[in-house]
């Protein structure tokens, strides 16, 4: 009798759990695709990461960002994309991610960053979505890193400090492929007392081989 009762109770619980699960699926809202704007694309698959883009000239932060955007072929997202997942953002566009958001995405290798049309803070990182759907992280680096960053095929990993804003120490703007970046710590502020001050991200730019892209693509 006890065995039959236990089996009956197990069946009831299993049926109830399945019913609740199906109900939750039917009531979960589905996010609509963005209207208008540029072409969008899901996360890219099986694509080689692009080479880093390095601007050699110097200038104001605004001038340098404009030069880099022109070189990578991206434009500002329209107002309807105030907050959007990278996978749903238009191709050939750029947005911004808070330094904490980028840090969490890289540490956890999350595939889909939430972008904002307008930088939420002065130390937010700029993200470019290229024509092939790949992501580039924008930051500022020292001049001596150019020879190591720009080759398409690198023989080894490169350790670099990627600053959110320019300085005498890091005057050159660069865009590096997100799928090649590996980190084990969050970015830190140069001035701990200034939450909106420049931050720096210590990271590894991987070589061209033997790393699975967090965006679902190979090398």
What string of DSSP letters covers the chain? -HHHHHHHHHHHHHHHHHHHHHHHHHHSPPPPPPPSSS-B-----S-PPPPPEE--S---HHHHHHHHHHHHT-EEPPGGGSEEEGGGSBTTEEEEE-HHHHHHHHHHT-S-PEEESS-SSTTPEEEEE-TTS-EEEEEEE-GGGHHHHS-SS-SS-EEEEEESS--SSS-EEEEEEGGGEE-SS--EESSTT-TTS-EEEEEEE--SSS---TTS---
Q: 4-21, pLDDT tens digit by residue?
A: 544 444 444 444 443 443
Residue 162 pLDDT class (50, 70, 90 cuts): very high
- How far is Cα 128 from Cα 183, in angstroms, rounded to an integer? 19
| Sign of the torsion angle spanned by Cα atoms 53, 56, 57, 58 | positive
Contact indicator for 172, 54 with CB cutoff of 8 Å: yes
When divided into structural domains, the chain yields a total of 1
Q: Provide the whole-model pTM.
A: 0.73
Whether 105 is covered by a domain: the verdict is yes
What's the whole-number mean pLDDT along residues 53-76? 95
CB count, 10 Å around CB of 49? 26
Lowest average pLDDT, out of 1-10, 27-36, 53-62, 114-123, goes to: 27-36
Whether 72 is covered by a domain: the verdict is yes
Lowest average pLDDT, out of 4-18, 122-136, 179-193, goes to: 4-18
- How far is Cα 173 from Cα 181, in angstroms, rounded to an integer? 17
Q: Which two tokens stand for residue 36?
A: 């208008």
Lowest average pLDDT, out of 28-42, 75-89, 129-143, 179-193, goes to: 28-42
Please provide the average confidence, as pLDDT, over all residues in the chain. Answer: 78
Q: Write out the residue range of the structural domain in which residue 187 sits.
A: 53-205
């Amino acid at each position: 009798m006890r065995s039959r009762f236990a089996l009956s109770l197990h069946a009831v619980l299993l049926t109830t759990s399945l019913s609740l699960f199906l109900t939750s699926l039917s009531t979960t809202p589905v996010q609509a695709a963005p209207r208008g704007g540029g072409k969008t694309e899901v996360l890219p698959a099986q694509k080689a990461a692009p080479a880093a883009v390095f601007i050699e000239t110097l200038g104001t932060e605004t001038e340098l960002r404009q030069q880099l955007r022109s070189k990578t072929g991206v434009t500002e997202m329209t107002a309807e994309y105030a907050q959007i997942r990278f996978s749903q953002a238009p191709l050939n566009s750029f947005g911004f991610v808070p330094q904490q958001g980028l840090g969490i995405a890289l540490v956890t290798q999350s595939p889909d960053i939430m972008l904002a049309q307008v930088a939420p803070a002065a130390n937010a990182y700029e993200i470019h979505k290229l024509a092939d759907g790949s992501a580039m992280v924008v930051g500022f680096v020292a001049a001596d890193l150019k020879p190591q960053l720009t080759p398409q095929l690198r023989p080894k990993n490169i350790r670099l400090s990627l600053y959110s804003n320019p300085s005498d120490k890091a005057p050159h703007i660069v865009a590096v492929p997100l799928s090649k970046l590996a980190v084990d710590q969050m970015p830190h502020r140069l001035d701990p007392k200034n939450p909106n001050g420049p931050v720096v991200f210590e990271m590894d730019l991987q070589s061209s081989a033997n790393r699975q892209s967090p965006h679902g693509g190979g090398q």
